[in-house]
């Protein structure tokens, strides 16, 4: 008998935490992850895929626990020397991370990003397939009060300080065959929208028409986890961006943003005031402590997602 399968959409650090929780609760081969590549860019001639690497390092157990991105036990000789040579230091590549990027550069000469990610995952001992949303560039562009910025210029160089006026995603990005076949897997029991930033990390994935329509047409229920706890993001500029875009900073606004897509939403115990308003959008709500610090927290949130998916079961069609 084919085993049940689960598919998560993930961007930055918050998404990777839930992915690790799901990984700890599922058997080998049950979980696949679609990674946002809207943050990818070329820097110092190297192809940088931050969300892919955050997933690979997290699943391999070698992510930097202080930042969530980059490798643990990192050394910085390369950056120090680069600075002495007058090179750019706003985007920090540690020595061990640099090797990852050199290897990706080399492999990309003869393989797709999907194949390269599989090879790097194998080298790191990661068994969960991490599937880039696309093999071609799909840069997210941030429009701000002080001008238009490439994603990493906004997020890292400017520390997400400029006020966001709009965010755009290229309209013509093609999903990979691997992503589309994962979405049409008959054994799929849930599509999971992790608590990554909905506008910066999840929207680029959903902006790809074939991915959005496959999710809408899937029989598996779509379950999200709210990235807000008591109106604040655990990490990163989600609440700040919501404010700048004129969206109220609470979990109901997250549910409204995903309305028509979600069958279920896991919200934090601090946000139960919104439960009935969210349910009136046709979204089943479950409540837990969604702060994911230790592995047991990640497993608890994963359990909430997996039990809600099992309770809801297959659905006929969305929207």
With beta carbons less than 8 A apart as the criterion, state whether 249 and 242 touch: yes
Binding piece for ligand FO1, criterion CB under 6 A, among 109-117, 149-157, 169-177, 214-222 = 149-157
Residues that bind ligand FO1 (rule: CB under 6 A) add up to a total of: 17
- Only one of the segments 141-149, 152-160, 211-219, 241-249 lies at the binding site for ligand FO1 (rule: CB under 6 A); that segment is 152-160
Instruction: By CB under 6 A, name the one of 115, 156, 281, 291 that touches ligand FO1.
Output: 156
The DSSP 8-state label assigned to residue 194 in this structure reads -
For residue 299, what are the CA distances in angstroms to 212, 234, 277, 291, 311? 27, 17, 27, 11, 18
Closest approach, Cβ 50 to ligand FO1, in A, equals: 4
- CB-wise, 232 or 286, nearer to ligand FO1? 232
Secondary structure of 128-184 in the HEC alphabet? CCEEECCCCCCCCEEEECCEEEEHHHHHHHCCCCCCEEEEECCCCCCCCHHHHHHHC
Give the one residue of 10, 12, 182, 205 binding ligand FO1; rule: CB under 6 A: 12
Q: Quick one: 49 or 128, whose CB is closer to ligand FO1? A: 49
Residue 42: closest CA among 101, 89, 100: 101
Length of the chain, please? 319
Q: Are strands 188-193 and 130-132 parallel, antiparallel or unpaired?
A: unpaired
14 part of the interface to ligand FO1, by CB under 6 A: no
Closest CB to ligand FO1 among residues 78, 258: 78
Residue nearest to ligand FO1 (CB): 12
In the bound complex, what is the minimum distance in angstroms from residue 174's beta carbon to ligand FO1? 22
Span 44-73, contacts to ligand FO1 by CB under 6 A: 48, 50-51, 53, 69-70
Helix H or strand E segment including 31: strand 31-35
Q: What is the dihedral of CA 281, 284, 289, 295, to 10 degrees?
A: -120
Backbone dihedral angles phi then psi of residue 288, each to the nearest 5 degrees: -155, 175
- Whichever of 36 and 128 has its CB closer to ligand FO1, that residue is 36
Q: What's the closest the beta carbon of residue 66 comes to ligand FO1, in angstroms?
A: 11
Contacts of 99 (CB under 8 A, 6+ apart): none
Stretch that binds ligand FO1, among 2-10, 88-96, 203-211, 295-303 (CB under 6 A): 88-96
Question: Do 225 and 234 contact (CB within 8 A), yes or no?
Answer: no
Contact positions vs ligand FO1 (CB under 6 A): 11-12, 39, 48, 50-51, 53, 69-70, 91-93, 97, 152, 155-156, 201
């Amino acid at each position: 008998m084919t085993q049940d399968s689960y598919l998560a959409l993930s961007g930055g650090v918050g998404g990777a935490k839930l992915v690790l929780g799901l990984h700890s609760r599922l058997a080998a081969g049950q979980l696949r992850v679609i990674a946002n590549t809207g943050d990818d860019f070329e820097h110092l001639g190297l192809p940088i895929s931050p969300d892919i690497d955050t997933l690979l390092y997290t699943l391999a157990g070698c992510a930097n626990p202080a930042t969530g991105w980059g490798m643990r036990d990192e050394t910085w000789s390369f950056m120090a020397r680069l600075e002495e040579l007058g090179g750019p230091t706003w985007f920090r590549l540690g020595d061990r991370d640099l090797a990852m990027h050199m290897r990706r550069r080399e492999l990309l000469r003869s393989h797709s990003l999907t194949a390269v990610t599989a090879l790097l995952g194998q080298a790191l001992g990661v068994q969960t397939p991490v599937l880039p949303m696309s093999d071609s560039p799909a840069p997210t562009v941030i429009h701000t009060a002080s001008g238009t910025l490439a994603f990493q210029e906004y997020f890292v160089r400017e520390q997400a300080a400029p006020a966001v006026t709009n965010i755009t995603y290229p309209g013509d990005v093609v999903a990979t065959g691997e992503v589309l076949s994962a979405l049409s897997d008959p054994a799929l029991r849930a599509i999971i929208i992790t608590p990554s930033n909905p506008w910066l990390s999840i929207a680029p994935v959903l902006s790809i028409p074939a991915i959005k329509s496959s999710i809408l047409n899937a029989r598996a229920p779509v379950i999200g986890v709210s990235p807000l706890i008591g109106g604040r993001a655990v990490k990163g500029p989600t609440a700040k961006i919501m404010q700048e875009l004129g969206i109220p900073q609470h979990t109901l606004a997250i549910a409204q943003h995903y309305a028509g897509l979600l069958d279920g939403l896991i919200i934090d115990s601090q946000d139960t005031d919104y439960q009935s308003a969210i349910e009136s959008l046709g979204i089943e709500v479950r409540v837990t402590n969604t702060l994911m610090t230790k592995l047991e927290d990640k497993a608890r949130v994963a359990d909430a997602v997996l039990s809600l998916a099992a309770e809801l079961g297959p659905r006929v069609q969305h929207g």
